[in-house]
Structure 1
Amino acid sequence: MDYYCSAMKILGINVHYEVYKHNPHNPTIVLIHGFLSSSFCYRKIIPILQEDFTLVTIDLPPFGKTEKSTNFVHSYSNMAKVVIQLVERLNIKKAYLVGHSMGGQVSLNAAKQRPDLFEKVALLCSSGYMKGVHPSLKLGSYFPYFYLGIKHWLARQGVLKNLYNVVHDRSLIDQEMMDGYMEPFLDDKIFRALNRMIRDHEGDLSSEELKLIEQPSLLLWGNEDKVVPVHIGERLKKDLPNSTFFSFKQTGHLVPEERPEHVSEKIASFFYQAT
């Protein structure tokens, strides 16, 4: 199998990505992670899917190993442009999208912008119907040391507390998992970039916009999701015109970690279905 990781300059920043290619004739899946996460969240489904698909993972700015810039506009629309430009420059003509949490909104934005490039979308506990950041928070982001408040808040939460919130079966949490989710926050530049992200956040796509996305979409949820409750998935099912919904019992927000085999099976069968 051909595997490589690299960085590509897109919209002025170095974007980290990884490619897993077993067979050049396999269809391509682009995997997009969520907020405060990275491509690490897909570590359990990559080994399962890589035999039948070419996989491309992206660390969205300012997360993972991607450059943490205060000049980049951290809107979902702009993140979708990063995904689109990366896919185009890798000479991929058609691809499928998988987006977890915030990555679901980025995926929907990319599908909306380029329906010719992305044939199907799988949404894993996708963010949905969130409004833009409150004006007072946006105003705060212009103060010089506001980013220190973000850093303090995240430090007070701690990686273990955050994982408790996103995983239903806490026995899955081990040192490797804690280290993997903590790693991007060892670089202090991320907090300044998150400050910029607050300023740029435009909110999720509206019902009216969702109804215009015609690509087939698969919605996978955890019944015990505390971050994006299952009713959000059921509402998305109603708004996305060509969608299928499935939920897993005794499962939280981090479905790729908790149900890797089941999630991979659902994704593979969905993407291989004739449209």
Structure 2
Amino acid sequence: MTFDPMNMLNSALVTAALTLSPAVAPSAQASTMPETAFSSQMIEGLTIAYREAGDPGNPTVLLLHGFPSSSYMFRDLIPVLAQEYHVIAPDYPGFGASDMPLAADYDYSFANTADLVTQLLDQKGVNNYAVYMTDYGAPVGFRMFAEDPARVSGFIIQNANAYEEGLREFWGPMRAYWANPSPENGDALRGFLTLDATKWQFTHGAENPASVSPDHFWHAQYLLDRPGNQEVQLEMFLDYGKNLGEYPKWQALFREHQPPALLVWGANDQICPEEGAHPYKRDLTDLEFHLLNTGHFALQEKGHEIAGKMLSFLDRINN
């Protein structure tokens, strides 16, 4: 029998859409879970895709994905949260099912992404929300917070940097690109866009790597391999350097506004290492702090634990 990874991927996606992973809710019956709608809005000429579930009359939870994923990473978490909350998980431009204009035709940046997600919430009539941020979700979510702090009811922070302490050896090639965005320095980063690198991101540091479904990295790699997507990702890599200049502003706003926060951090992560988690204690007084024995994509291995902590946190800040 011929091994066909794309057929296996398609089968896995269908299965994931019909069943709920035991990593998130081992005792739940899929038939009792709220349905997830797959929708889109036209914003500034781009189709922005998003997943949505739960009663819009309930408090909203915004889920912001990281690199190289999409709202797909939340597919098991969404129905668990949606039993009590309204949940929205967008795909950024160039990610997931959202439009992917060529890098030469669009300004890929975290500022623009934050603005598009804000406009999506405006169109949906969402005026207040708690926000889950992981990886790229941090510079998107914290930029949104900086624009309107009163709109954010709380943070869920999962391997998401807002401090220079969280940018260690892994970021050396990125720093070289920020300092000199030459074609050579850009090409040196293309290794991060390969299947081996994607698999490493999902499995490195996991307590039990065999428990991390390959669906995650196959799905992410399929999207990375689209023609033109590498150039999109290089634009985002380059723009990430601008976030460092925003860190002091965000930290000052943390101290001023003191949003309640839940931190659930994979302690074995080399991309966003544990050193980036502890500084939040300096600036946030209402902080539930949890280090988990897993890696960068903590939700994929510790989904049940994270979901439970999120529900307890959300119940506390909304009651």
For 1:256, the equivalent position in structure 2 comes to 299
Shift, 1:31, TM fit: 0.4
Is 1:57 the counterpart of 2:89 in the alignment?
Answer: yes
Q: Which runs of 5+ in 1 are unaligned?
A: none
Shift, 1:86, TM fit: 0.5
Q: Structure 2: how far apart are the matches of 1:217 and 1:73?
A: 31
Is 1:172 the counterpart of 2:215 in the alignment?
Answer: no
Aligned pair partner of 1:203 in 230, 236, 243: 243
For 1:190, the equivalent position in structure 2 comes to 229
Q: Structure 1: how far apart are the matches of 2:147 and 2:138?
A: 14
**Overall identity of the aligned pairs, in %:** 21
Shift, 1:75, TM fit: 2.8
Shift, 1:243, TM fit: 2.9
SS of residue paired to 1:112 = helix
SS of residue paired to 1:116 = helix
Cα distance 1:152–1:212, how it changes in 2: closer, same or farther (>3 A)? closer
Higher-Rg structure is: 2
Aligned pair partner of 1:86 in 87, 98, 120: 120
Q: Structure 1: how far apart are the matches of 2:215 and 2:67?
A: 19
Shift, 1:52, TM fit: 1.0
Q: Structure 2: how far apart are the matches of 1:233 and 1:101?
A: 12
The answer to which structure has the higher helix fraction is 2
Q: More deviation in 6-15 or 253-262? A: 6-15
Q: Is the 8 A contact 1:73 1:200 kept in 2?
A: no
Shift, 1:139, TM fit: 4.8
Structure 1 residues 42-72: Cα deviation after superposition (integer angstroms, max 9, x where no partner): 1232232121111111112222122223243
Q: Structure 2: how far apart are the matches of 1:268 and 1:228?
A: 24
SS of residue paired to 1:26 = coil
For 2:15, the equivalent position in structure 1 comes to none
Shift, 1:29, TM fit: 0.7
SS of residue paired to 1:226 = coil
Listed as ranges, the matches of 1:100-179 within 5 Å are 100-130=134-164, 134=175, 136-137=177-178, 139-140=180-181, 143=183, 150-151=189-190, 153-155=192-194, 157-165=196-204, 167-179=206-218
Shift, 1:210, TM fit: 1.3
Cα RMSD between the aligned structures? 2.7
Cα distance 1:195–1:55, how it changes in 2: closer, same or farther (>3 A)? same
Q: Structure 2: how far apart are the matches of 1:271 and 1:174?
A: 28
Q: Is the 8 A contact 2:202 2:296 kept in 1?
A: no
Aligned pair partner of 2:72 in 40, 46, 52: 40
Shift, 1:17, TM fit: 0.8
Q: Structure 2: how far apart are the matches of 1:235 and 1:6?
A: 37
Shift, 1:126, TM fit: 0.8
Q: Is the 8 A contact 1:147 1:194 kept in 2?
A: no
Q: Structure 1: how far apart are the matches of 2:216 and 2:234?
A: 26
Q: Structure 1: how far apart are the matches of 2:125 and 2:222?
A: 31
Cα distance 1:262–1:162, how it changes in 2: closer, same or farther (>3 A)? closer
The residue type paired with residue 122 of structure 1 is: I
Shift, 1:123, TM fit: 0.8
Q: Structure 2: how far apart are the matches of 1:212 and 1:106?
A: 15
Shift, 1:208, TM fit: 4.6
Cα distance 1:245–1:51, how it changes in 2: closer, same or farther (>3 A)? same
Q: How many equivalent pairs are there?
A: 271
The residue type paired with residue 194 of structure 1 is: Q
For 2:8, the equivalent position in structure 1 comes to none
Q: Is the 8 A contact 1:146 1:195 kept in 2?
A: no
The residue type paired with residue 224 of structure 1 is: N
For 1:267, the equivalent position in structure 2 comes to 310
The TM-score, its normalising length taken from structure 2, stands at 0.75
